[in-house]
Amino acid sequence: KGPQVAVTAVAELRARGISAQLTLLGSVFAGYEWFEEDLRRRVADLGLAEQVEFVGFDPDIWAYLSRTDIVCVPSIVDEPFGNTAVEAMLAGRPLVVSDTSGLKEAADGFETVRFVTPDDPVAIADAVQSFMAAWPTVVDHVAGDREQAERRHAPSAYAEALIGALGANGYRSST
């Protein structure tokens, strides 16, 4: 969903004299192995082999989030809903995220979210650098964002909103 943009952002940060590490969590769909090969080649060509780690698919994302400073969701196309963005907020991590419909829905209104133009590695690097420049303030706000994410995205909140929407549209439960 845009790891090539994140890789290029790491190269941009390095060009600015900023050291950054990128962990790519996830794997390609069957038939798209060529994409990963191209991405690995790009990492090598940019001299980022020490800065970019490919970990593949792991259903336990929380272990990775716990040792991450900033989460980046560099999607280059619209998504139906940004679960990854919500997971970053629930983990109490600042988030750099593409300004697309589903990601905006998931991450709008949080202090520690920076929306960037899709497919723009310079914008990602700028957002990371802005977090770094204000790190004490960012750290102060992540706990509040995590609490807000828990309230906004809790299953009970979804159930309540769904029941309200159904009731507003004339649905009546038979129970």
Query: Which pTM value belongs to this model?
Result: 0.88
Residues 105, 150, 92, 142, CA torsion sign: positive
Q: Would you call 147 helix, strand, or coil by DSSP?
A: helix
What is the per-residue pLDDT for 174?
61
pLDDT tens sequence across 119-169: 999 999 999 999 999 999 999 999 999 999 999 987 787 788 888 888 887
Q: Would you call 137 helix, strand, or coil by DSSP?
A: helix
How far is the C-alpha of 75 from the C-alpha of 47, rounded, in Å? Answer: 23
CB atoms closer than 10 angstroms to residue 110? 22
> Taking 60 as the threshold, does the pLDDT of residue 175 lie above it?
no
Residue 136, CB-side half-sphere exposure with 13 Å CA sphere: 0
- Residue 149 CB-density burial (10 A; 0-12 exposed, 13-18 middle, 19+ buried): buried
Asked if 143 and 92 touch (Cβ cutoff 8 Å), the reply is yes
Which residues touch 104 (CB under 8 Å, ≥6 apart)? 82, 115
First to last CA, the chain: 43
- For the record, the structure tokens of 74 come out as 């560099």
pLDDT tens sequence across 77-99: 998 899 999 999 999 999 999 99
Residues across the chain: 175
How far is the C-alpha of 158 from the C-alpha of 165, rounded, in Å? Answer: 10
How far is the C-alpha of 86 from the C-alpha of 40, rounded, in Å? Answer: 28
Phi, psi (deg, nearest 5) at residue 142: -65, -35
| CA angle in degrees (0–180, nearest 5) for 152-88-65 | 140
